[in-house]
Amino acid sequence: MASWSSDTPGSCDCFVSVPPASAIPAVIFAKNSDRPRAEVQEVVFVPAGTHAPGSRLQCTYIEVEQVPKTHAVILSRPSWLWGAEMGANEHGVCIGNEAVWTKEPVGEGEALLGMDLLRLGLERSSSALGALRVITDLLERYGQGGSCREDPAPFCYHNTFLLADRTEAWVLETAGRLWAAQRIQEGARNISNQLSISTDISAEHEELRTHALAQGWWGGQSTFDFAQVFSLAQQPVRMEAAKARFQAGQQLLRQQQGSITAEVMMGILRNKESGICMDSGGFRTTASMVSVLPRDPTQPCVHFLTATPDPSRSVFKPFIFGAGVAQAPQVLSPTFGAQDPVRTQPRFQTQVDRRHPLYLQHQEALGLMESEQVTLRES
């Protein structure tokens, strides 16, 4: 079982606003991806595709069966793996994920990563509810597991997800192969590195409560509270910090109820005082995303992605699905084929330079800004 350390990420936040919380008739989705400081996150466009019967699909660590048709997706992902931290598909479905630790043990055996499940949900569904069903079906069949960091020392966790489309949102929280989900039809909601679904459960794994009973975590007489039953009795320090950040996110959303826009969400993602915009120890916000999903199906969904670290020092670049859409090479990392450290056994024994052109230019610009600030202070 992977252990916690001071470098375990204490952040990652997802937000959604469903009318009437939004200032416009649209669902607005947002996420900060907080990852190891040196990790590069690329933005990848994958067109829709058709696949031969019986074909297989290689995810980060394991293969799964392919489906006959997959939808076009835009993904913001750590460049070493197959899945993604956040993304959207051509039907206006958006998903973000968070690391979570519960009473269920986290195994190091290789299975599907939460980021793989996220991408599979986007490629195989046309609604948030459909994506939830895809993810839970694959989770129950294949489980989740494997190192989530490009490092020889395994770092493993389970996942929570925020799924949204033009009409509603869902929170999906997992503990091993078990799960609970909550439907959000109006208002604003956020998730962080902790379980947050209490008694308002809209759907759940059929064995969720019997498993809790068998483990002695729930007596069966009181109201079933998923977060209370499955959360660790003694939270690690970093998870306690996540509670404060979750509460800060709730407050920021509450302050903007009825007037939430894409710009408001970008401001929340850039908020450093709360820790939502993270820069602490070996981790930082490596990429960010905001999506506007209009209720009117004739209007396009607009997705804004940074592809660079620290949203307070990055530009959100817009993307819209449409005819002629193609991959932007500036945000695509180099590939290393069979020699990639994620493919060779044992994994992650060497390091490669995954920085894409925009990342390099961003680093150069920040270096110039910082040197100018030093010069000004000295003068």
Residues annotated catalytic, as ranges:
12
Q: E-strand spans in the chain?
A: 13-18, 26-36, 41-46, 49-50, 56-58, 63-65, 69-70, 73-78, 86-89, 94-100, 158-164, 169-175, 178-184, 187-191, 203-204, 279-280, 283-294, 302-305, 317-319
- The CA distance from 80 to 259, in Å, is 38
User: Which ranges of 105-207 would DSSP assign to H, the alpha helix?
Assistant: 114-123, 128-142
- The CA distance from 3 to 37, in Å, is 19
Tokens 């375990």, located at residue: 8
Element (H, E) at 149: none
What is Dmax (Cα atoms) for the chain? 70
Report the DSSP pairing between strands 13-18 and 86-89.
unpaired
C-alpha separations of 367 from 38, 261, 354, 360 in Å: 15, 32, 19, 11
First-to-final CA distance of the chain: 53
**Cβ(312)–Cβ(285) below 8 Å:** no
DSSP assignment of 297-363 equals TTSPPEEEE--SS-GGGSPPEEE---TT----GGG-----GGGSTTTSSSTTSS------HHHHHHH
- The CA distance from 263 to 209, in Å, is 41
Tokens 């499940």, located at residue: 117
- The CA distance from 172 to 98, in Å, is 10
- The CA distance from 175 to 205, in Å, is 10
